[in-house]
Chains A and B, each alone.
Chain A
Amino acid sequence: MHERVDPLPGAWLTVDDAGRDAFDVRVPDASRLAFRVAYSVLRHRQQAEDVAQETLVRAFRTFHTLRDMAKFRAWLVRMAWRLALDEQRGHRRRLVRDGQVAGGNALAVEPAATAETQALWAAIDRLPERLRVPLVLASIEGHTLPEVAALLELPEGTVKSRLFEARRCLKEWLR
């Protein structure tokens, strides 16, 4: 599927072969994770794939600075989340600049989304970020509570209380 391009001489000055191989084996899983995190923010497939690509490229450039490889997924989630938020703000600014949205409160929701899904997304958008991030991470890829706590580098009790509060808010707003 993918043909590896031989690196030019001098590439060892930036990323060595061992680091490249260690990163390459993580790309399939990491790309899916980055895409889902980005999609949970952007709700647009193409934009989420662009953000996932950018996340992996940036992660590749700074992969050698990561000391604890066990924190690779958490590191990647934070990077993807930040880049997705940046892309979301940039998209809103472009819409406002082009005069398509007056208040700049539009997301590029895919047209195939049902009314029920759009209502759910609207409710998720109302959540503050400290509640939204654990809720989304717990919902994608079946992450358990300890996994979400590890991804966010928060105590499990904190994540549990935030998830409870997020669910309570959603149930109230979707009633």
Chain B
Amino acid sequence: MTDDGLGDRLREALDVAPSPDLSARIMLRLDDDARRRSARVWRAWIAGTLTAVATVLVLVVAPRTPVSRPMSSLAVTPDRAAVAASAPVARDASAEAAHGGGRRVRRSRTGGHPAPAVGVGPEGPLRFADTASSALAAGSVDRGGPDSVDTPPPSTPVEVSGLAVEPMALPSIAVDPVHVLPLETAAIASQGDPR
């Protein structure tokens, strides 16, 4: 880059030294940046810890509340009060100890979810399972069977132009196509297609 003095001119134009304290200012800014990043990391840790504590509190304390009582404590038994007072609590405590604590969801006929409340009983809200089992025990509900179910009569094959067609097993709803079709269509159907 020394041909024709162009290189010298370029070097002269570009040979500009920075301020003597540029490095010191950069170091100060780096320290400030590191300090701010460190503070940001601490804030993130504190926020994460608080969130974890809140989550643990919700998961541990919430199952102890009456709203989430297990279904077994609501079972309809003659000595329901005594069973609800002693046995389920001990069983729950032993089950939690065996699984290391924490919340456990008890499987039930409702798929693990508490059944919706259908009323209020002496021991708290009554679930649908309680009322259903009570009704079954009292015999006021039809348990089902051949007499109580309205099943359609067995269908018979229909002879259509020499072919035996097995009708589909549908509910016995007698529908007259002539009554369903509009009047003009029914008339055409009864007289034959003019074409």
Interface on A for B, CB 8 Å cutoff? 1-2, 4-5, 7-11, 13-15, 20, 23-24, 27-28, 31-32, 35-36, 39-40, 45, 48-49, 52-53, 56-57, 60-61, 116-117, 120-121, 135-136, 138-140, 142, 163, 167, 170-171, 174
Known: A35-B22, A45-B16, A167-B1. 11 other contacts (CB 8 A): A5-B31, A7-B31, A13-B41, A14-B37, A27-B27, A32-B22, A48-B18, A49-B19, A57-B30, A116-B9, A139-B1
B37 and A138 contacting across the interface, CB-CB below 8 Å: no
Residues on the A chain within 8 Å of B16, using CB: 35-36, 39, 45, 48
Sorting the interface of chain B by its residue count into under 10, 10 to 19, 20 to 34 or 35 or more gives 35 or more
Closest to A167 in B: B6
Identify B26's interface contact among A1, A10, A53, CB under 8 A: A53
Identify A10's interface contact among B4, B6, B19, B42, CB under 8 A: B42
Residues on the A chain within 8 Å of B3, using CB: 167
B11 and A139 contacting across the interface, CB-CB below 8 Å: yes
* CB under 8 Å from chain A, chain B span 1-58: 1, 3-4, 6-7, 9-19, 21-31, 33-35, 37-39, 41-42, 45
A2 and B14 contacting across the interface, CB-CB below 8 Å: no
- The interface residues of chain A, by DSSP majority, are classed as helix
CA A139 – CA B15 in complex, angstroms? 8
Residues on the B chain within 8 Å of A5, using CB: 31, 35
Closest to A46 in B: B19
Interface on B for A, CB 8 Å cutoff? 1, 3-4, 6-7, 9-19, 21-31, 33-35, 37-39, 41-42, 45
Measured between C-beta atoms, what is the minimum distance from B134 to chain A in Å?
Answer: 61
B6 and A170 contacting across the interface, CB-CB below 8 Å: yes
Identify B10's interface contact among A20, A57, A135, CB under 8 A: A135
Residues on the A chain within 8 Å of B31, using CB: 4-5, 7
B18 and A15 contacting across the interface, CB-CB below 8 Å: no
Measured between C-beta atoms, what is the minimum distance from A134 to chain B in Å?
Answer: 11
8 A-B pairs with C-beta separation under 8 A: A4-B31, A31-B26, A32-B18, A35-B16, A48-B16, A49-B25, A53-B25, A60-B30
Residues on the A chain within 8 Å of B39, using CB: 8
Q: Which 4 A-B pairs have the closest CB atoms?
A: A35-B18, A139-B10, A8-B38, A5-B31
Task: Known contacts A8-B42, A14-B37, A35-B22; decide if A139 and B27 are in contact (CB<8 Å).
Answer: no
CA A142 – CA B30 in complex, angstroms? 29
Task: Known contacts A4-B31, A27-B23; decide if A140 and B18 are in contact (CB<8 Å).
Answer: no
Measured between C-beta atoms, what is the minimum distance from B8 to chain A in Å?
Answer: 10
CA A98 – CA B172 in complex, angstroms? 85
CA A135 – CA B33 in complex, angstroms? 34
CA A23 – CA B27 in complex, angstroms? 10
Measured between C-beta atoms, what is the minimum distance from B126 to chain A in Å?
Answer: 55
Residues on the B chain within 8 Å of A140, using CB: 11, 14-15
Residues on the B chain within 8 Å of A32, using CB: 17-18, 22
Closest to A114 in B: B13
B26 and A15 contacting across the interface, CB-CB below 8 Å: no
CA A1 – CA B37 in complex, angstroms? 24
Residues on the B chain within 8 Å of A138, using CB: 1
Identify A14's interface contact among B11, B26, B41, CB under 8 A: B41
